[in-house]
Amino acid sequence: MGIIEKMRLDGKKGFVTGAARGIGKCTATAFAEAGADVAIVDLDFDEAKKTAAELAEKTGRKVIAIKTDCTDKEQVDAMVDQVVKELGGLNFCHNNAGICINAPAEEMTYEQWKKVIDINLNGVFLTDIAAGKYMLANGGGSIINTASMSAHIVNVPQPQCAYNASKAAVIQLTKSLAIEWAKKGVRVNSISPGYIGTELTLNAPALAPLIEKWNAMAPMGRMGTPEELESICVYLAGDTSTFTTGSDFIIDGAFTCF
């Protein structure tokens, strides 16, 4: 069997949070194209159903939609139970749901701070633990968390202290769980994307001046695309990455190199 065949995810089951659109939709598509059955997990259930139907038709895999608030433990636990029941197991997950609120620190409300931390960090913790408990009891698996290059640098010119702090914490959570579960068959890694041009990002008029500045600063002179995150996630979800755990993969076009 060649490396391409080994990279496939045939027979594997997984879920992606924040998968109705953007990066999550793109990685869910890659998982399904690689042969996995996938759950599209999102708070926007209508869009999640559209994405699930689209991917099922495109790939021929079983793709389901599940409405979940990732900050609600009961909903997260129920989501994992539904994935296991409807897909027949759980081998990998990509915990990708997140938000960013740009506000100067001295003007940011405590409610804004808590919202970012709750979704970006607490939500990842809840999904990691719910998925991890199943994997620990059922032969192992792979967990992928979305961090950010903002865990490694302080972005400019936009002020986003809550986002930066939450993503740095995601990396440390990832490493901590990787150590705890290293001998128990559950691998935990994170990806740290740079600026990624999703449909929502590129079509937001308010972001146009920022995108111009980001591209001017970027060594490659451009934002990344969601598709440029696919291969690392497929690798981490599959069996060719069995010695890879506790790692953070920066995919930023060298933005954090200076």
Residues with a catalytic annotation lie at 148, 163, 167
Three state DSSP letters for the chain: CCHHHHHCCCCCEEEEECCCCHHHHHHHHHHHHCCCEEEEEECCHHHHHHHHHHHHHHHCCCEEEEECCCCCHHHHHHHHHHHHHHHCCCCEEEECCCCCCCCCCCCCCHHHHHHHHHHHHHHHHHHHHHHHHHHHHCCCEEEEEECCHHHCCCCCCCCCHHHHHHHHHHHHHHHHHHHHHHHHCEEEEEEEECCECCHHHHCCHHHHHHHHHHHHHCCCCCCECHHHHHHHHHHHHCHHHCCCCCCEEEECCCHHHC
